[in-house]
Amino acid sequence: MDALTDIADESSVAALSKIRADFPLIAGNEQVYLDNAATTQKPQAVIDALSNYYARDNANVHRAAHKLAGRATESYENSRESLRRFINAESREQIIFTAGTTESINLVAQSWGQTNLQSGDEIIITLLEHHSNIVPWQLLAQRTGATLLACNVTPEGEIDLADYHAKLSTRTKLVSVGHVSNALGTINPVAEMISAAHDKGAVVLVDGAQSVGHMAVDVQALDADFYAFSGHKMFGPTGIGVLYGKLELLNAMPPWQGGGEMIETVTIEHTTFNSLPYKFEAGTPNIADAIGLGAAVQYIESIDRSMVQQYEDNLLRLATSAIAQLPGVRVIGTSAHKSGVLSFVVDGAHPGDIGTLLDQQDVAVRVGHHCAMPLMQHLELPGTVRASFSLYNNTDDLDRFVAALTKALSFL
């Protein structure tokens, strides 16, 4: 296989071929790592940013007059600005640091949802969603009396847009949809879905966990009301993520956690709250990992993103074509619009067994329901084997993956 020949610019090919050296675990490990949809590896620049903070600038932010705190605060807020630029938010006040996509979605459910939803209202999601974009809305519906509706998916693994438009109504108060399916890799038509929801007066949250590490995202162009994503799926640290929101919504939302930093004044009888973004960042923040996430953004921005997206698309296309020719292998999710995820099943074999046989040959993939049990139930599958790609994977990885899968099939 040679995906690189599909990219004409020789200098781009050379740059991509050197990327593996930026990632210590990839460069120094014989294992083929194809579990990027779960978490990506970290470039040395991110590791250095974390180490440098703890070694040279370790202090709390915003609260002290000494130099260490000043440097820590500057780095922390510079990361916020980097993230604002990264998704083209209008202002830094719209970038809320959270523990990740899951916490971002729960923040919206607890604050905006609890304030704005009541009995008779409807929330729309889809059968493609990760549990993190299902369970918070179930809990919210139980608390408020709202109804949770899920749109169907087509046999190709795409959102059934006819069903989506049929479910939209003036009762719809919130639509929450993944930009890219973590289980199938389907790129959803979120701009169209947002526009249709706004026509009905609904607010839209986009789960961007699987998108921001693979494609350019412009929240203003999408007109998303909320956009949530995680650092660890875009070469950043674990335990850090972002919630973007439109200013009018964030300003109107009550805090969802109380404590330090999110306050302006406190008496025993009454508290007034800090301005954005700090109103939603109670307590000592995850300073080091926020700085590390800023370093991840800088790393991503140092590479031609359209080139990377084309390269990853080529890897996915080649891998899909190769395994589809193997006996008994069936690809799950055949949309023409996909990003970096190849899910498949093998006739007569449990996904867990295939994953174990691949691991014995030093090929790391994901197996199971991928935190998308409603989707697997709809597909009548116990789960799938999922190989997911990133910019440091290459055609040697694909060759080893296909060879390992071929050998695994010989044991069945």
Start-to-end CA distance of the chain, whole Å, equals: 26
CA 137 – CA 150 distance, rounded (Å): 11
Alpha helix (H) ranges present in 246-388?
Answer: 247-252, 287-301, 305-324, 351-359, 373-379
Candidate list 99, 161, 371, 381, residue with the active-site label = 371
**DSSP, res 275:** P
CA distance 60 to 68: 8
Active site residue 151: no
Peptide bond into 327 cis (omega under 30): no
**Residues of 269-280 as b/e, b for ≥16 C-beta within 10 angstroms?**
eeeebbebbbbb
State the Cα–Cα distance between residues 381 and 17, nearest whole angstrom. 37
Q: Where are the alpha helices (DSSP H) in 109-263?
A: 114-116, 135-144, 161-167, 190-199, 219-222, 247-252
Task: Enumerate long-range contacts of 78-85, CB under 8 Å, 24 or more apart.
Answer: 78/294, 79/290, 79/291, 79/293, 79/294, 79/295, 79/297, 80/277, 80/290, 80/294, 82/294, 82/297, 82/298, 83/242, 83/293, 83/294, 83/297, 85/297
CA 395 to chain centre: 25
For the annotated catalytic residues, the residue numbers are: 371
